[in-house]
């Protein structure tokens, strides 16, 4: 697994939420098995790779259409499976993405994206355009700037206003040294994930303390029974 050496869009980090999201998917593999999965802001693509390993029907991993980011993402995906890497700017036309899931994606993965406050409307526009009417999204994040936690959480206020039910699922504590969590599920993928974390640059805003990773589940209000 390879990371970009350095990049102004933070694509050279293994963000806190990525290994946590990956282990969560393994523990809840029915979310991805035989499903169409789209990851936004994928960076190195760890959750997308895990989704492939868990039997997703199709996986598309996206990030900003920067040549270095996309070349590295394509390299990682090709090494571990058949997921597609596509450049995509949040809020843009989803037609190129929906070529791989004509009826929309069953699951969207957002890992450590909502710290980008000005992009909240564009992220929700992408949910609107790419998500299957009965699809769902997983949003995993850490408060990298704790004094801006309310602005991070404003994403869920906006999503609620735009027709989504936002449910807080859990919080796991990610340790600095190993990339493991306080609640690692018994998993055949755990050695793979831990090895990835140990060999990569783990982005921790405080180098002396663990980071809390929080995750939410989003569904459209209109499709709740």
- pLDDT tens by residue, 187-216: 444 444 444 333 333 333 333 345 677 877
Place 109 in a pLDDT band, splitting at 50, 70 and 90: very high
Residue 41 pLDDT greater than 80, yes or no: yes
194 to 19, 38, 56: CA distances (angstroms): 8, 23, 22
Q: Where are the domains of the chain?
A: 16-220
In the chain, pLDDT over 90 holds for what percent of residues?
55
Residue 13 pLDDT greater than 60, yes or no: yes
The arithmetic mean of pLDDT across residues 164-172, rounded, is 88
Look up residue 220 and give its two tokens: 């459209």
How many Cα atoms sit within 13 Å of 110 on the Cβ side? 26
pLDDT at residue number 200: 35
pLDDT at residue number 170: 86
Place 19 in a pLDDT band, splitting at 50, 70 and 90: confident
Distance, in Å, from the CA atom of 31 to the CA atom of 150, rounded to the nearest integer, reads 29
Name the residue among 120, 150, 140, 142 with its Cα closest to residue 218: 140
45 to 5, 15, 16: CA distances (angstroms): 15, 11, 13
CATH of 16-220 given 3.40.50.700, 3.40.50.620, 3.30.70.980, 3.40.50.150 = 3.40.50.150
The arithmetic mean of pLDDT across residues 101-106, rounded, is 96
Name the residue among 60, 50, 66 with its Cα closest to residue 18: 50
Going along the chain, which residue ranges are E strands? 14-15, 36-40, 58-63, 84-87, 105-111, 131-141, 164-174, 202-203, 211-220
Place 17 in a pLDDT band, splitting at 50, 70 and 90: confident
**Directed axis angle between helix 17-27 and helix 190-198, to 10°?**
170
Name the residue among 53, 17, 52, 45 with its Cα closest to residue 138: 17
Average pLDDT, the chain: 81
Residue 11 pLDDT greater than 60, yes or no: no
Name the residue among 102, 103, 110, 115 with its Cα closest to residue 61: 110
Question: What is the torsional sign of CA 31, 43, 9, 122?
Answer: negative
70 to 3, 6, 66, 75, 182: CA distances (angstroms): 11, 14, 6, 8, 32
Residue 88 pLDDT greater than 90, yes or no: yes
Considering only 34-38, 127-131, 195-199, which range has the smallest mean pLDDT? 195-199
Number of other CB atoms surrounding residue 103 within 10 Å: 11
Distance, in Å, from the CA atom of 62 to the CA atom of 77, rounded to the nearest integer, reads 11
More confident residue, 18 or 121: 121
Distance, in Å, from the CA atom of 139 to the CA atom of 24, rounded to the nearest integer, reads 12
Residues 141-166 pLDDT 10s:
888 788 899 999 999 999 999 999 99
Residue 132 pLDDT greater than 50, yes or no: yes
């Amino acid at each position: 697994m390879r990371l970009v050496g350095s990049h102004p869009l933070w694509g050279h980090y293994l963000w806190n939420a990525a290994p946590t999201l990956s282990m969560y998917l393994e523990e809840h593999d029915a979310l991805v098995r035989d499903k169409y999965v789209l990851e936004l802001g994928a960076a190195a693509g760890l959750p997308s790779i895990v989704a492939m390993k868990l039997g997703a029907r199709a996986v598309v991993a996206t990030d900003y259409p920067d040549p270095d980011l996309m070349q590295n993402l394509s390299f990682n995906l090709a090494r571990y499976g058949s997921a597609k890497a596509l450049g995509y700017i949040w809020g843009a036309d989803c037609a190129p993405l929906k070529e791989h899931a004509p009826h929309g994606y069953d699951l969207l993965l957002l890992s450590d994206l909502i710290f980008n406050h000005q992009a909240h409307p564009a992220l929700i526009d992408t949910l609107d355009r790419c998500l299957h009417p009965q699809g769902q999204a997983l949003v995993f994040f850490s408060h990298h700037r704790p004094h801006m936690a309310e602005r991070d959480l404003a994403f869920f206020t906006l999503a609620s206003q735009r027709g989504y039910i936002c449910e807080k699922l859990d919080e796991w504590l990610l340790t600095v040294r190993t990339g493991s969590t306080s609640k690692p599920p018994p998993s055949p993928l755990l050695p793979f994930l831990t090895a990835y974390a140990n060999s990569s640059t783990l982005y921790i805003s405080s180098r002396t303390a663990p980071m809390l990773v929080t995750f939410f589940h989003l569904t459209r209000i209109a499709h709740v029974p």
